[in-house]
Structure 1
Amino acid sequence: MDKGYDRIAVVTGANSGIGKATAVALAEQGFDVGITFHTDRNSADEVAELVRESGREAAVRQHDLTDPERAARVVDELAEELGLGVLINNAGTGSAEPLLDMDYQRWRSVLAVDLDGAFLCAQRAARRMIDSGRGGRIINVTSVHEELPRVGAGPYCAAKGGLRMLSRVLALELAEYGITVNTVAPGEIATAMTGQEDRLPQIGSRPGYPIARAGDAREVAAALAFLAGPAASYITGTTLFVDGGLGLMGPQAGGALGTGDWRHG
């Protein structure tokens, strides 16, 4: 059973999209929230204000995961200010170029943000949760590409697949301390990362998906908030896909394609 972990969450990349929706959802469920951002301080402050409007405390820190060791210290800073019971590693980046055209620095930059940064933040959070003796939650936001490949997204897919396995090892190692570790794998979500910021998903706009639209950030946030809450105390080492059934279409779509255009993204 739960050890009564602190209802205080750090959400990385919480100034927009899934991170913003998650910070608000957690605040509505009674969590204080530490918010990190990369470059846009104003949007992070706006999210902090939304958290405070729910009657909860908020703190904001800049967080540049291209330098993951330095960025991970922000987890400690927020924990010192607010406390820490939940870490949601949401911040990430992507790529859109074939592997044969990619230089090593570009490869490493994506891995640093999407995998190295998540590892170091989780490590610092877990140490604090163990020291508290009250357990906690670590939730890593991956993607359907933790399992399914995409042309032009080699380092992103490698990082997200690695993050899934990292999460599973952490789940084994941290269970005795009352800490659960899971991943949430979104499909296409209407956020800035997919060029759809502030745009509601249009029903019927994705005829190749079982649910024929992109997802809404709040739908992913609901899954994250569930795993962060007490009802998820017996769930660890697993992935919750929030993809409208997109992952089911791999074999089906492959058989339906009439050209090889997919080879070029």
Structure 2
Amino acid sequence: MSLLEHLLEVRKRFVLVAVGLVLGAVLGWYAYDPLMELLQAPLKEASEARDIPVTLNFTGLTAALDTKIKVSLFLAVFLTCPWWLYQFWAFVTPGLTSKERRYAFGFVGAAVPLFLAGAFMAWLVLPHAVGILTGFVPDDTSNFNNAQEYLSFVMRLILAFGLSFVSPVILVALNFAGIVQGKSLLAGWRWAVLIAFTFAAIITPTPDALTMILVALPICLLFFGAVGIAIMHDRQVERRYADVA
């Protein structure tokens, strides 16, 4: 594909992803109230544990509306994750054979549960994080959190966990597209482990090492699994070329 064709393909995929997000946001708009109850649950738990007011605070007339729009878009990301993950696959693998294109089902089938698993792990970490952070609030005081700042914090946490769990599947997609070789990935395993632990240290909002290790280990295991799949795929490609030659 020429550079212009690549740019047109990028625009096409972005438009398709945007359409999916808009439709998902419409559904998210109607699911706003129960979702807000879930998002506020860690604050309520911290409030009960500390016996101090820990709640959201909406500042400004438009804050509640802005928050509802943001939460709707946030939910849209989850509702449409099979759609935008498929668009990524369709963009990076246009040169595959018809047989290999069928792997798109496997890619989406693996990426979606991994993304949701990462998001679920973030959800498990969130109450622990809120409990530790509110532990620094002095006694006999209140902790009023700006609604948009709190929701941005939660969204970044969940999306970062979800995408980190999908990253090994993305490496496999890049390998199938011929962009990266399995041996190259294996050669950089030390950097991959370092990046996984560094990412875990940055993204986990708690100072304890146990949470960081629990986040980093699954990412490392998924990376080595992706490397194994990439190496097996490279061997299949080499045998196919050898048979043709």
Highest Rg: 1 or 2?
A: 2
Give me the TM-score of the superposition, normalised by structure 1. 0.23
Give me the TM-score of the superposition, normalised by structure 2. 0.24
Larger strand percent: 1
Larger helix percent: 2
